[in-house]
């Protein structure tokens, strides 16, 4: 054989398909099966048309491309040497080698060939069925069953194929096809080399005369004969054998091809057949077949009652020729006329025809008719025929279905992404696809694998798998069990992961084979594992988060629960796929809890927005916890809810803090109301948003209406407003605290002094101020008073000092006089010169005494002042002689006064006695008289008038002096009306406070009038009692 | 000056009793004494016919103060050399300083020793004589 792509398995192919051809793109033969070569004498390198004619294909269709893409791959080849053998099979395109493979089976067409057998009877029957129902799916006679069998039981009269036998020149069996194998029950192995008669013949077999045989063969003529054969099980059957000598190009016989056809039935029928319509018919009828007869002259059918029944008609219902014509499917009728009728002749009077008939129920059914044209005229035109009708609807439909299914299946299998392997019941490969081959790195084409025994290959291929022995045993177990196994994971040694399905195929109870389907899921497993790992990773994270997180499906079933949500592993796992109601039931708690949850879940679903609610619950330890529960729907790309995340956040602390803050706020509020100070909080512009009652009270305003807003700055008078505005700005800019006092006059009209403190509150929204105010008016007033008092004190002290100063000053003069006079006396005594100077020492002494008195008076005044201050004055009111008092006064001090003038006294005789304190009154009068003298220097001496005026004693001192200086008058007034304090009027030593005091003590009054340059008159009036 | 001519002392003092006592003592000490009980009278005497050799002046006078009188005396070249002794009840250092700053020759506070007064008068007269000669 020429070297072809299939060279490495040439033998195998040859064994399987001895009638194969391989054609190149030019339709040149580059390979042929042994037997084909023997039969057709083909040689490599010739064009196919050299040897064969294609039936059913016009010449222009015979191109490589046309043949590759031909839908119907069936072909019939006539061997060009007038050999009645035809090759029927189909073409496969071998993509790998770009060749066409033809697998064929020999078939006989005995009519119209040159070597017509003389024995009509032994004329073979065209295997019309073979032509029509040639298995387009698979190579004919492929080893191993086609898994969808047509339901035929292996009989010699298998409609789908002839039994074929090839013998060599010696007459020994060289090859038998499957049908033959099936028919006789022997395998090729068993019969090869034997003589056919050894295999076939039995008790009743006729021995065909060898001479006849030899003769025919010698003549290179096919002949046929009928005989009885026996199967392996000694089942007898009639067969017609058609023997065709196989010659090579030299016309040497190389062998014999015999086609055997089971004619048992036919034989039976023939026996029963009598050249009479009725007998035939009734015989056949008796046999239970639908029978018909046709008169070609009359062109009339006659149908048996079974016939009618077969198509649904009653025995007595009319069904005639016309009906038949209408009932037969037009296509089938056409086919009869086209294909069958032309081939009928007296030599070949029998035919079978598959056709559809429209039954009474309106449905077409498939039937087969086997007919025999029994009578012919002299022109060899048919006169009469008779036949049987058999309902083959089911099997036909099935086979049609099977064919189409098979076709579908074939292309399906080819196109599957999975690797598919179909084995027959003997584990021989029926079909597999490229994907399968590539999965297992089988270097062969799928087509080439057909027929291979998988049980061997299983053993050989086990090392492809990670665990070889396990693979083998598992596979075997599956095969033994013959039960569907899906999604079995197989690990390959190279790390790939395959998914395998095993599907057993049964027809009824009969095991026909099984399907293995493999998918490489390495990647998806990889992805799957990655996904799992990822999922686990995220689940871990979710478990770590210290909040309870769950994921619900759209139907509110738990899809994921993290550890925080449910700590108990068992419970958590149980909950997956369940909902809250299940939980409640399990925990035997009220469903209200689940209702609540469902409510917000539904809200979330409906609104497609997160929903939250606050749950309050009591923990195991009795403490109250608050949890914000959120249902958060996840919206996917299609805007649908993918799932819902539910989580809870413990906000107990937060709530506690809020509550605490509320309490604090309340406290602060209360505090604000209690304190005496006014407190407000206001915006930068002064708008008050918090105030207390004290504020209102201090500012003397009432609480604003609910929509009113007070403005602090607007309440203030202008200067205060500016002051506070400025202050508040400083607070804002420096962050310091501003304090101060502003004046304010409220509704009451009283001017108040308000102490304030401004502090700033800085928030994001801007600055606000807190202002504290308190009314310090009283304090201020007190201070003022105090200041006044202090001023007075100061003045007093100053005055006192001055008084002392002046008094000491005043004392000096009398002292100086005493001193001088003393020294004069001294000198007189020393010098004894009194006479010289006409000095009278008595005068000196007298002067001294007087000055002592003066001094004493001054000191007494001082003492009096002190006593007045300390309140230690003791009065001794006595009845005294007024005249004597006044005279004594004069004598002491004013006769003369230091400036030489003498006081004039005018005494009212009516006023003789008076109740008074001598010392005090003396002081008073002395003061006034002294002043009179002082302010009238150089003028007439002052006058002291003592008189009684009604109930009062009046002491009036008048001088003719300059009048009291205005300054002193003012001071006089002020000291006068100040009343309580001591204070010597500067420069004058008036000591009117003493006068005032003394007079007051006598329940009297002191008044004066003074005129500049005229004089002053002081009047003391004392009530007599 | 002859032994017969007594030196003339002017005493300006408003307290009559005191000025009398001083006069007596000074006369007993062989001085000729003139008195005035107010400033203007005193000035009249100073600017009068009698040439005064020394002035004793109280600060506290009814019309003008002793300081004023001192000023006037000092401003007159005829009288500026006359020794001027203040006699006052004001005894503060401040007062003394003030008095002396005006150009007074001496300052004595009341009460004073007449003997001392005479001593100082004699002293200042001698000085004045000395300087003029």
DSSP string, A546-600: SSEEEEE-TTS-EEEE-TTT---HHHHHHHTT--HHHHHHHHT--THHHHHHHHH
DSSP states of A738-761: EEEEEEEE-TT--EEEEEEEEEEE
CA–CA dist B82, B92 (Å, integer): 25
CA–CA dist B34, A829 (Å, integer): 25
Chain B CB within 8 Å of residue A913 CB? no
Inter-chain CB proximity B25 and A850 less than 8 Å = no
Question: Both tokens of residue A313?
Answer: 């008609």
Q: Among A323-332, A463-472, A517-526, A954-963, which is the least confidently predicted range?
A: A517-526
Question: How does strand B84-88 pair with strand B54-58?
Answer: parallel
> Tokens 């399905």 sit at which residue?
A501
- Over chain B, what is the mean pLDDT? 88
DSSP states of A17-43: -TTEEEE-TT-BEEEE-HHHHHHH---
> Tokens 């008058």 sit at which residue?
A969
DSSP state of B59: S
Inter-chain CB proximity B21 and A821 less than 8 Å = yes
User: Between A480 and A59, where is the model more confident?
Assistant: A480
Task: List the Cα angle A564/A570/A572 in 5-degree steps.
Answer: 40
Q: Give the residue from B111, B112, B117 with the most A CB atoms within 10 Å of its CB, the best one to mutate.
A: B111
On whether the CB atoms of residues A690 and A681 are closer than 8 A, the answer is yes
Average the pLDDT over A37-47 and give the result. 84
CA–CA dist A71, A56 (Å, integer): 14
DSSP state of A217: H
Residues of chain A with Cβ-Cβ distance to B112 below 8 Å are 816, 819
Task: List the Cα angle A665/A669/A671 in 5-degree steps.
Answer: 115
Question: Both tokens of residue A312?
Answer: 């649904």
Residue of chain A minimizing CA distance to B27: A837
Q: How confident is the model at residue A320 (pLDDT cuts 50, 70, 90)?
A: confident
- Most confident of the following: A312-316, A676-680, A1011-1015: A676-680
pLDDT for B35 beyond 70 = yes
CA–CA dist A803, A796 (Å, integer): 10
CA–CA dist A389, A356 (Å, integer): 11
On whether the CB atoms of residues B96 and B127 are closer than 8 A, the answer is no
Nearest by CB to B28, from A819, A837, A847: name it.
A837
Query: pLDDT tens digit string along A14-37?
Result: 766 778 888 888 888 888 888 888
Burial of A975 (0-12, 13-18, 19+ CB in 10 A): buried
Inter-chain CB proximity A899 and B14 less than 8 Å = yes
Residue of chain B minimizing CA distance to A847: B17
Residues of chain B with Cβ-Cβ distance to A896 below 8 Å are 16
On whether the CB atoms of residues A205 and A195 are closer than 8 A, the answer is no
For residue A266, the model assigns a pLDDT of 67
Question: Both tokens of residue A86?
Answer: 């035809």
Burial of A530 (0-12, 13-18, 19+ CB in 10 A): exposed
CA–CA dist A141, A35 (Å, integer): 14
Number of H helices, E strands in chain B: 5, 5
Inter-chain CB proximity A937 and B14 less than 8 Å = yes
Closest Cα partner for A947 from A955, A938, A959, A939? A955
For residue A139, the model assigns a pLDDT of 33
pLDDT for A781 beyond 90 = no
HSE, side-chain direction, 13 A CA sphere, residue A440: 27
Inter-chain CB proximity B111 and A896 less than 8 Å = no
Inter-chain CB proximity B18 and A818 less than 8 Å = no
For residue A941, the model assigns a pLDDT of 93
Residues of chain B with Cβ-Cβ distance to A828 below 8 Å are 28
CA–CA dist A165, A259 (Å, integer): 6
Residues of chain B with Cβ-Cβ distance to A812 below 8 Å are 89, 91, 109-111
> Tokens 């003029």 sit at which residue?
B132
Residue of chain B minimizing CA distance to A809: B89
Beta strands in A477-565 (DSSP E): 485-491, 497-507, 510-520, 548-552, 558-561
CA–CA dist A807, A927 (Å, integer): 13
For residue A144, the model assigns a pLDDT of 28
Query: pLDDT tens digit string along B101-124?
Result: 889 999 998 888 889 999 999 999
Q: Among A582-596, A698-712, B21-35, B61-75, which is the least confidently predicted range?
A: A582-596
Name, in order, each residue with C-beta under 8 angstroms of B38's C-beta and a sequence gap of 6 or more: A937, A938, B12, B14, B61, B62, B63
- CA A673 to chain CA centroid, Å, is 51
Residues of chain A with Cβ-Cβ distance to B37 below 8 Å are 899
Nearest by CB to A813, from B18, B38, B115: name it.
B18
Interface A–B counts its CB contacts (< 8 A) at 77
**Min Cα–Cα distance to chain A from B107, Å:** 14
Average the pLDDT over A104-130 and give the result. 42
Nearest by CB to B110, from A812, A847, A899: name it.
A812
User: Between B65 and A129, where is the model more confident?
Assistant: B65
Q: How confident is the model at residue A143 (pLDDT cuts 50, 70, 90)?
A: very low
Q: How confident is the model at residue A859 (pLDDT cuts 50, 70, 90)?
A: confident
Closest Cα partner for A905 from A920, A881, A935, A884? A884
3-state DSSP assignment of residue A167: strand
On whether the CB atoms of residues A636 and A628 are closer than 8 A, the answer is no
Q: How confident is the model at residue A881 (pLDDT cuts 50, 70, 90)?
A: very high
Chain B CB within 8 Å of residue A840 CB? no
Chain B CB within 8 Å of residue A824 CB? yes
Question: How does strand A20-23 pair with strand A29-32?
Answer: antiparallel
Phi and psi for A174 in degrees, rounded to 5? -105, -40
Inter-chain CB proximity B111 and A850 less than 8 Å = no
**Min Cα–Cα distance to chain A from B57, Å:** 14
Inter-chain CB proximity A812 and B109 less than 8 Å = yes
Inter-chain CB proximity A819 and B112 less than 8 Å = yes
Residue of chain A minimizing CA distance to B14: A899
Q: How confident is the model at residue A10 (pLDDT cuts 50, 70, 90)?
A: low
CA–CA dist A929, A854 (Å, integer): 13
Residues of chain A with Cβ-Cβ distance to B15 below 8 Å are 813, 817, 898-899
Query: pLDDT tens digit string along A719-749?
Result: 888 888 888 888 888 888 999 999 999 888 8
For residue A990, the model assigns a pLDDT of 45
Neighbouring-strand partners of residue B11: B35, B56
Query: pLDDT tens digit string along A975-1006?
Result: 433 322 223 333 344 467 778 888 888 899 98
Average the pLDDT over A295-304 and give the result. 86
Question: How does strand A738-745 pair with strand A688-691?
Answer: unpaired
Neighbouring-strand partners of residue B58: B87
For residue A979, the model assigns a pLDDT of 26
Chain B CB within 8 Å of residue A810 CB? yes
CA–CA dist A505, A484 (Å, integer): 9
Q: Among A378-382, A631-635, B41-45, which is the least confidently predicted range?
A: A378-382
Contact map slice: A 875-904 vs B, CB within 8 A: 896, 898-900
For residue A966, the model assigns a pLDDT of 66
CA–CA dist A311, B46 (Å, integer): 192
CA–CA dist A167, A176 (Å, integer): 9
CA–CA dist A860, A871 (Å, integer): 15
pLDDT for A790 beyond 70 = yes
Question: Both tokens of residue A430?
Answer: 């029926």
Inter-chain CB proximity B111 and A833 less than 8 Å = no
pLDDT for A352 beyond 80 = yes
Question: Both tokens of residue A327?
Answer: 């009932």
On whether the CB atoms of residues A406 and A505 are closer than 8 A, the answer is no
For residue A137, the model assigns a pLDDT of 31
- CA A480 to chain CA centroid, Å, is 50
Question: Both tokens of residue A680?
Answer: 């407000």
pLDDT for A9 beyond 90 = no
CA–CA dist B133, B128 (Å, integer): 9
Average the pLDDT over B13-20 and give the result. 88
Phi and psi for A41 in degrees, rounded to 5? 60, 40
CA–CA dist B114, A511 (Å, integer): 175
On whether the CB atoms of residues A685 and A744 are closer than 8 A, the answer is no
Question: Both tokens of residue A728?
Answer: 């508040």
Closest Cα partner for A216 from A120, A85, A109, A115? A115
Residues of chain A with Cβ-Cβ distance to B16 below 8 Å are 896, 898-900
For residue A244, the model assigns a pLDDT of 81
Question: How does strand A641-650 pair with strand A548-552?
Answer: antiparallel
Give the torsion sign (CA, A53, A54, A59, A62): negative
Inter-chain CB proximity A809 and B90 less than 8 Å = yes
Q: How confident is the model at residue B3 (pLDDT cuts 50, 70, 90)?
A: low
3-state DSSP assignment of residue A670: helix
On whether the CB atoms of residues A138 and A275 are closer than 8 A, the answer is no
- Most confident of the following: A67-76, A266-275, A445-454: A445-454
For residue A590, the model assigns a pLDDT of 84
What ipTM is given for this predicted complex? 0.89
Average the pLDDT over A448-459 and give the result. 78
**Min Cα–Cα distance to chain B from A997, Å:** 29
Nearest by CB to B89, from A813, A824, A847: name it.
A813
pLDDT for A132 beyond 50 = no
pLDDT for A385 beyond 90 = no
CA–CA dist A187, A192 (Å, integer): 9
Q: Among A92-101, A498-507, A777-786, A863-872, which is the least confidently predicted range?
A: A863-872
Q: How confident is the model at residue A957 (pLDDT cuts 50, 70, 90)?
A: very high
Inter-chain CB proximity A820 and B21 less than 8 Å = yes
Q: Give the residue from A810, A816, A848 with the most B CB atoms within 10 Å of its CB, the best one to mutate.
A: A816
Average the pLDDT over A512-536 and give the result. 81
**A561 phi-psi bin (left φ>0, alpha ψ -120 to 50, beta other):** beta
Nearest by CB to A824, from B17, B25, B90: name it.
B25
pLDDT for B9 beyond 90 = yes
Chain B CB within 8 Å of residue A949 CB? no
- Over chain A, what is the mean pLDDT? 79
Residues of chain B with Cβ-Cβ distance to A820 below 8 Å are 18, 21-22, 24-25, 114
């Amino acid at each position: 054989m020429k070297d072809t792509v299939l060279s490495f398995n040439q033998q195998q192919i040859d064994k399987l398909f001895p009638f194969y051809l391989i054609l190149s793109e030019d339709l040149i033969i580059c390979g042929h099966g042994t037997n084909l070569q023997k039969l057709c004498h083909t040689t490599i390198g010739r064009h196919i048309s050299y040897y064969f004619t294609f039936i059913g294909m016009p010449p222009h269709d015979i191109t490589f491309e046309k043949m590759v893409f031909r839908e119907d791959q069936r072909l019939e080849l006539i061997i060009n040497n007038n050999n009645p053998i035809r090759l029927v099979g189909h073409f496969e395109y071998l993509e790998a080698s770009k060749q066409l493979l033809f697998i064929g089976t020999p078939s006989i067409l005995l009519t119209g060939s040159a070597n017509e057998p003389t024995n009509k009877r032994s004329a073979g029957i065209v295997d019309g069925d073979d032509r029509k129902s040639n298995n387009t799916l698979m190579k004919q006679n492929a080893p191993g069953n086609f898994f969808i069998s047509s339901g035929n039981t292996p009989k010699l009269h298998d409609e789908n194929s002839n039994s074929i036998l090839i013998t060599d020149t010696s007459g020994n069996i060289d090859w038998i096809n499957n049908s033959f194998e099936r028919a006789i029950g022997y395998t090729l192995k068993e019969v090869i080399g034997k003589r056919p008669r050894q295999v076939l013949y039995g008790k009743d077999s006729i021995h065909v005369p060898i001479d006849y045989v030899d003769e025919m063969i010698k003549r290179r003529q096919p002949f046929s004969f009928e005989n009885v054969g026996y199967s392996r099980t000694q089942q007898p059957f009639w067969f017609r054998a058609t023997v065709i000598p196989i010659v090579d190009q030299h016309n040497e016989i190389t062998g014999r091809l015999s086609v055997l056809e089971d004619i048992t039935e036919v034989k039976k029928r023939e026996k029963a057949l009598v050249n009479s319509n009725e007998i035939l018919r009734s015989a056949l009828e008796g046999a239970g077949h639908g029978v018909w007869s046709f008169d070609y002259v009359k062109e009339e059918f006659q149908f048996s009652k079974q016939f009618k029944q077969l198509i649904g008609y009653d025995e007595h219902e009319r069904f005639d020729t016309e009906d038949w014509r209408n009932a037969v499917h037009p296509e089938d009728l056409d086919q009869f006329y086209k294909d069958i009728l032309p081939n009928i002749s007296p030599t070949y009077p029998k035919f079978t025809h598959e056709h559809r008939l429209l039954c009474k129920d309106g449905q077409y059914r498939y039937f087969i008719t086997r007919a025999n044209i029994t009578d012919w005229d002299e022109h060899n035109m048919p006169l009469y025929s008779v036949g049987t009708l058999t309902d083959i609807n089911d099997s036909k439909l099935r086979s049609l279905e099977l064919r189409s299914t098979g076709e579908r299946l074939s292309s399906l299998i080819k196109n599957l992404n999975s690797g598919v392997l179909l084995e027959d019941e003997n584990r021989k490969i029926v079909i597999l696809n490229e994907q399968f081959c590539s999965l297992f790195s089988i270097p062969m084409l799928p087509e080439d694998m057909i027929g291979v025994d998988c049980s061997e290959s299983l053993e050989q291929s086990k090392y492809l798998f990670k665990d070889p022995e396990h693979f083998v045993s598992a596979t075997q177990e599956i095969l033994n069990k013959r039960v569907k196994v899906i999604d079995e994971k197989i690990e390959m040694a190279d790390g790939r992961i395959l998914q395998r399905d095993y599907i057993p195929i049964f027809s009824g109870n009969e095991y026909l084979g099984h399907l293995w389907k493999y998918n490489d899921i390495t990647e998806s497993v990889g992805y799957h594992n990655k996904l799992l790992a990822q999922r686990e990773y995220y689940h871990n994270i979710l478990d770590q988060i210290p909040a309870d997180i769950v994921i619900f499906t759209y139907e509110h079933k738990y899809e994921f629960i993290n550890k925080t949500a449910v700590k108990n592993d068992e419970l958590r796992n149980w909950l997956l796929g369940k909902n809250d109601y299940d939980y409640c039931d399990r925990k035997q708690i009220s469903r209200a809890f689940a209702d609540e949850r469902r409510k917000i879940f539904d809200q979330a679903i409906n609104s497609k927005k997160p929903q939250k609610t606050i749950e309050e619950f009591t923990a195991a330890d009795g403490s109250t916890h608050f949890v914000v529960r959120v249902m958060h729907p996840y919206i996917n790309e299609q805007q649908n809810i993918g799932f819902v995340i539910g989580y809870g956040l413990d906000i107990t602390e937060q709530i506690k803090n809020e509550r605490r803050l509320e309490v604090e706020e309340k406290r602060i509020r209360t505090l604000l109301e209690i304190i005496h100070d006014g407190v407000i909080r206001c915006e930068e512009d002064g708008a008050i948003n918090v105030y207390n009652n004290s504020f209102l009270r201090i500012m003397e305003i009432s609480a604003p209406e609910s929509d009113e807003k007070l403005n602090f700055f607007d309440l203030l008078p202008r200067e205060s407003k500016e002051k506070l505005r400025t202050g508040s700005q400083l607070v804002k800019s420096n962050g310091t605290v501003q304090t101060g006092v502003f004046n304010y006059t409220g509704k009451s009209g009283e001017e108040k002094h308000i102490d304030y403190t401004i502090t700033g509150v800085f928030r994001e929204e801007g600055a606000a101020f807190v202002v504290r105010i308190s009314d310090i008016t009283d304090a201020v007033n007190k201070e003022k008073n105090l200041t006044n008092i202090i001023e007075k004190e100061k003045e007093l002290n100053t005055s006192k000092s001055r008084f002392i100063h002046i008094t000491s000053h005043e004392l000096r003069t009398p002292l100086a006089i005493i001193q001088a006079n003393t020294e004069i006396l001294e000198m007189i005594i020393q010098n004894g010169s009194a006479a010289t100077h006409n000095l009278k020492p008595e005068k000196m002494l007298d002067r001294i005494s007087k000055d002592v008195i003066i001094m004493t008076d001054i000191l007494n005044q001082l003492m009096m002042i002190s006593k007045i201050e300390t309140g230690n004055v003791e009065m001794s009111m006595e009845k005294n002689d007024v005249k004597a008092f006044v005279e004594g006064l004069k004598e002491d001090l004013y006769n003369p006064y230091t400036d030489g003038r003498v006081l004039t006294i005018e005494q009212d005789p009516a006023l003789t006695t008076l109740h008074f304190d001598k010392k005090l009154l003396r002081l008073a009068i002395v003061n006034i008289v002294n002043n009179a003298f002082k302010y009238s220097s150089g003028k007439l001496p002052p006058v002291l008038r003592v008189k009684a005026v009604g109930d009062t004693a009046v002491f009036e001192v008048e001088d003719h002096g300059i009048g009291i200086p205005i300054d002193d008058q003012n001071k006089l007034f002020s000291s006068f009306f100040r009343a309580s304090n001591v204070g010597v009027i500067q420069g004058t030593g008036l000591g009117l406070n003493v006068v005032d005091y003394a007079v007051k003590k006598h329940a009297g009054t002191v008044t004066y009038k003074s005129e500049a340059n005229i004089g002053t008159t002081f009047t003391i009036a004392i009530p007599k009692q | 000056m002859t032994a017969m001519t007594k030196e003339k002392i002017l005493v300006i003092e408003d307290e009559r009793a005191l000025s009398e006592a001083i006069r007596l003592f000074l006369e007993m000490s062989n001085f000729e004494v003139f008195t005035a009980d107010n400033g203007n009278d005193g000035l009249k005497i100073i600017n009068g016919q009698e040439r005064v050799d020394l002035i004793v002046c109280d600060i506290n006078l009814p019309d003008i103060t002793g300081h004023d009188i001192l000023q006037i005396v000092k401003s007159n070249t005829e009288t500026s050399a006359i020794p001027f002794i203040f006699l006052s009840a004001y005894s503060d250092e401040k007062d003394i300083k003030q008095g002396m700053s005006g150009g007074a020759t001496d300052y004595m506070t009341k009460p004073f020793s007449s003997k001392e007064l005479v001593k100082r008068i004699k002293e200042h007269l001698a000085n004045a004589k000395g300087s003029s000669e």
